[in-house]
Chain A
């Protein structure tokens, strides 16, 4: 798998957009809380010519996360791999799919990854989590899969990240 930056394609808007105006209002409010100068940056952020300060605002914010490597990041990477497999097989994928589980331990659950083929109806569900030393899912994941199975009649496939 590779990451590729991608230039946009799509429709050109026509007239006074409500969403854009709403964003401008919110940016101005956000800036006003930080003071006048920041307010000006917020208000300009949607204009085509960006100042250096504005570019900083649009950048991702990086925060070191030493624990993420063993938990969140491994979880995310495992889902990435499973998603690539599903895409290869022609599925449309969704992460964190909400399932109502009214008779379960929790009233709703989120399946980590679900692939669906709209033409055939075939569905694949994957739950990614920690496994015990004997290779079984940890209790939390097992209960989540039980709830999903009871609600949908289908048990997600478990994929460990550890």
Chain B
């Protein structure tokens, strides 16, 4: 038996980031990211849109006792999503290596996991909170796209796909522009 988890896969673009930052603030969502554990800046209210952050984690004050980090052999710290009361938010968008590909974003969280031979279920309160964050996000920012039914899209993402005559590639992990830029 594998651990239980949930995810929502979707596409957003940088012009959505301002409203999403406000959504986090309005809903008192705490933001975490690995680089902040290793000396980078913290408490950035405009974290989406920062050039060097592509994945963050969402939580709430009351879950702070259930947030865990791990260290690599050389001491690099990172958030451990398995046992933490965190929702992963992989931001997607345009990565520096290829601005002509729109990467898929997702929310992901784990509901239970294994430890010392026991199956550990995270609390109902965390799971309800995570569900509500995702539900509210979806109803606020995302719609279905008539040309592809497996994922969710912001209206701005659909505009970009249409304007760039993009094609879904890499098993649905990115939309690649077909327009050659001069």
Interface size class of A (residues with CB under 8 A): 35 or more
Q: Check: A35 CB closer than 8 A to any chain B CB.
A: no
Contacting pair A76 B82 (CB below 8 A): yes
- Whether B68 contacts A65 by the Cβ 8 Å rule is no
Does the CB pair B121–A63 fall under 8 Å? yes
Contact call A23/B129, Cβ cutoff below 8 A: yes
Q: At the interface, yes or no: A157 with Cβ under 8 Å from chain B?
A: no
On whether the beta carbons of B30 and A9 are closer than 8 Å, the reply is yes
**Please, how many angstroms separate the alpha-carbon atoms of A121 and B173 in the complex?**
13
A93 to chain B, nearest CB (A): 8
Q: Which residue of A lies closest to B132 (CB)?
A: A22
Q: Which residues of B contact A101 (CB under 8 A)?
A: 171
A57, B117: Cβ atoms closer than 8 Å: no
Nearest-CB distance from B6 to chain A (Å)?
10
Q: How many B residues touch the partner, as a band? A: 35 or more
Secondary structure dominating the interface of B: mixed
B146 close to A (CB within 8 Å): no
The one of A3, A19, A66, A120 in contact with B70, judged by C-beta atoms closer than 8 angstroms, is A3
B residues near A59, Cβ cutoff 8 Å: 123
State whether B80 touches A73 (Cβ < 8 A).
no
A residues within 8 A CB of B98?
Answer: 121
B26 touches A15 (CB 8 A): yes
**In the complex, chain B residues 93-124 whose Cβ is within 8 Å of any chain A Cβ:** 95-98, 103, 106, 108, 110, 113-115, 117-124
B-contact 0/1 string along A98-136, CB 8 Å cutoff: 111100000010000000111111000000000000000
Chain B, Cβ-Cβ closest to A118: B95
> Which of B65, B76, B150 is close to A88, meaning CB atoms less than 8 Å apart?
B76
Report the minimum CB–CB distance from B80 to chain A (whole Å). Answer: 7
Question: Which one, A2, A66, A97, contacts B117 given CB within 8 A?
Answer: A66
Residues of B within 8 A of A (CB): 1-3, 5, 7, 9, 24-32, 34, 36-37, 42-43, 45, 54-55, 59, 61-74, 76-83, 88, 90, 95-98, 103, 106, 108, 110, 113-115, 117-126, 128-129, 132-133, 135-136, 150, 168, 170-173
Which 4 A-B residue pairs are closest in the complex by CB-CB distance? A13-B28, A99-B171, A10-B30, A73-B114
Sample of 19 further A-B pairs with CB below 8 A, known A22-B132, A95-B5: A1-B72, A3-B83, A4-B68, A8-B32, A9-B42, A11-B29, A11-B43, A20-B28, A22-B135, A46-B62, A61-B121, A66-B117, A67-B1, A68-B117, A73-B115, A94-B55, A94-B88, A119-B97, A151-B171
